[in-house]
Structure 1
Amino acid sequence: MTTSRWTKEQLKLAFHLYCQLPFGRLHSRNPEIIQLAQLIGRTPSAVAMKLVNFASLDPAITSTGRAGLGNASALDKEVWAEFHADWEKLALECLLLNATLRNEVDSESVAELDSAELAELQDFFGETKRVLTEKRVKQHFFRRAVLSSYRGRCCISGLSDARLLMASHIMPWSYDKKNRLNPSNGLCLSAIHDKAFDRGLITLSDDHEVMLSEQLKRSDDVFVVNIFLPVEGRKIEMPEKFIPNLAFISHHRNKIFVDAAV
């Protein structure tokens, strides 16, 4: 039976879940909250309340007047700060915490991979298998965190079919290891907008407005004319959580955008 005082490990798991849930689903009836409550020996109401405490620390939440409960503890703030400094540590440490609490020998069972992915992983052994599993865990966390922040919609087009949505990195995966899994380094984009953003054909201003490259603006391709030209200068739909970091946006605009050197 748990005491009333939350442990740091429990808070890490709670924050890990907070990152992956839309703000509107931070309630005690959510099956994922119920599952975590059972895992750590808390009530669903207590877990839901803790997630709302974390929301009170999120500028994307508080800037819209949704203040959360507003009574986050010093340890809540410590966990928030610790994992904003190292998102990969969050994903992997919580994987291990889950595995320990579930008494699982093989951590793949908490990676939430589908059967096809597990079958593929079974072809590998030793260190290679571990590295691939960790990579999938990281990608899964980042995708859920970004898509939930944007309410499962492309922030440019409004597309809401998850099969066609990407969790796009603003700062490329290979450039900044510390922020690979930072949800503020992500945009929810349709597959076509993701490709254009990745290739530097579109970018964002510091006001989060869409900027098109001269290559796109000069194109006479019907698809480009109909899909890309109308969104120029349009502000993206802002996320509920984890506002895009302006330093990351500036890097993309000045280093990746194809017009940066013009």
Structure 2
Amino acid sequence: MVPQLNLREKAQTVGVVLAPQDIMTTSRWSKEQLKLAFHLYCQLPFGRLHSRNPEIIQLAKLIGRTPGAVAMKLVNFASLDPAITSTGRAGLGNAGSLDKEVWAEFHAGWEKLALECSQLNVQLRKEKGAEAVVELDVTEQEGLQDFTGETKRVVTEQRIKQHFFRRAVLSSYRGRCCISGLSDARLLMASHIVPWSNDKENRLNPSNGLCLSPIHDKAFDRGLITISGDYEVMLSEQLKQNDDAFVAQIFLPLEGRRIELPERFIPSIAFLSRHRNEIFIDAAGQ
């Protein structure tokens, strides 16, 4: 018989440090708090779901929870993630019905909820007297001062959505290009499998993303390469017949190579099939 672990023992197996108040607390999580927690879960590597993480500490302050309680909740979400559990890792296994509801709601409407969580974050900061900042990196903030009014709002919202998608994809792939292994974040792209313009409902779905270097992103976007249902790289005939020395060195050895799969949000087989049928040059007959 497999021994049953108590809450503290389960937490320790996944690196969550619990204080007594984390175990004894009886206050229920609101749906808004859970949305913010899941929003953060999507953007952090699995190995950083612990109470010492500055982003977890910051969220805990905003929602009036302890960092340990927030870390526990993130690991609860991990117990719902098939990409995590299929590898033998597990969350705490204490996800409740509202946790599952938030999980399902996000998967049914990534774009709406990513923006809603950003707005909730700003609202909570204002209520607590903190600076209500839009969480974008420096490059994403550049140029916003050049816009005003409705145009600025639209541009800001677009960048918020792109920021969420990039963080979710890069963290899932542990900050490494899934084809080349490149690990410099400045040189990585969160690439859409089904293009942004072709599927509004899945624009921000991390399972519609691949972490790629710029050159592999461009080749994938132009249909020169694709990914099979077995997650292996496929090269177009145009690319294989190209006599450029750089192409021969960089691309030809990739044929049949299996990509490095992410920790979470494994690329959707359906999205990969659409890319092969709609974008890949050989299938499209271009």
* Bin of the TM-score, shorter chain as denominator length: over 0.9
2:133 match: 109
What amino acid sits opposite 1:110 in the alignment? V
Match status 1:53 vs 2:76: yes
Picking from 272, 280, 284, the partner of 1:249 is 272
The one-character-per-residue Cα deviations of 1:204-246 (angstroms, maximum 9, x if unpaired) are: 1101100000011111111111111111101100000000011
1:220 match: 243
Is 2:136–2:159's contact at 8 Å kept on the other side of the alignment? no
Is 2:79–2:90's contact at 8 Å kept on the other side of the alignment? yes
Q: Distance in 1 between matches of 2:123 and 2:47?
A: 30
Pairing 1:27-38 to 2, within 5 Å after superposition: 27-38=50-61
Pairing 1:137-216 to 2, within 5 Å after superposition: 137-216=160-239
Is 2:123–2:132's contact at 8 Å kept on the other side of the alignment? no
Q: Distance in 1 between matches of 2:136 and 2:261?
A: 28
Tell me how far 1:108 sits from its aligned partner: 7.3
Tell me how far 1:110 sits from its aligned partner: 2.3
The DSSP-based 3-state class of the residue aligned with 2:234 is: strand
Is 1:108–1:133's contact at 8 Å kept on the other side of the alignment? no
The one-character-per-residue Cα deviations of 1:237-257 (angstroms, maximum 9, x if unpaired) are: 000000001110000000100
Equivalences, count: 260
Q: Which runs of 5+ in 1 are unaligned?
A: none
The DSSP-based 3-state class of the residue aligned with 1:259 is: helix
Q: Distance in 2 between matches of 1:43 and 1:139?
A: 29
Pairing 1:67-86 to 2, within 5 Å after superposition: 67-86=90-109
Q: CA RMSD in A?
A: 1.8
Picking from 140, 157, 178, the partner of 1:134 is 157
Picking from 74, 91, 98, the partner of 2:121 is 98
User: Percent identical across equivalent pairs?
Assistant: 81
1:11–1:257 CA distance, 2 compared to 1 (3 A): same
1:66–1:119 CA distance, 2 compared to 1 (3 A): closer
Is 1:184–1:243's contact at 8 Å kept on the other side of the alignment? yes
Q: Which runs of 5+ in 2 are unaligned?
A: 1-24
Larger Rg, first or second structure (1 or 2): 2
The one-character-per-residue Cα deviations of 1:147-205 (angstroms, maximum 9, x if unpaired) are: 00000000000000111100000010001111000000000000000000000000011
Q: Distance in 1 between matches of 2:45 and 2:26?
A: 28
The one-character-per-residue Cα deviations of 1:77-133 (angstroms, maximum 9, x if unpaired) are: 00000010110112110011001100179x97123242x654511221111000000
Runs of 4+ in 1 over 3 A off after TM superposition: 116-119
Greater RCO, 1 or 2 (C-alpha within 8 Å, sep 6+): 1
Q: Output the TM-score relative to the length of structure 2.
A: 0.87
1:119–1:221 CA distance, 2 compared to 1 (3 A): closer
Tell me how far 1:261 sits from its aligned partner: 3.8
Is 1:56–1:72's contact at 8 Å kept on the other side of the alignment? yes
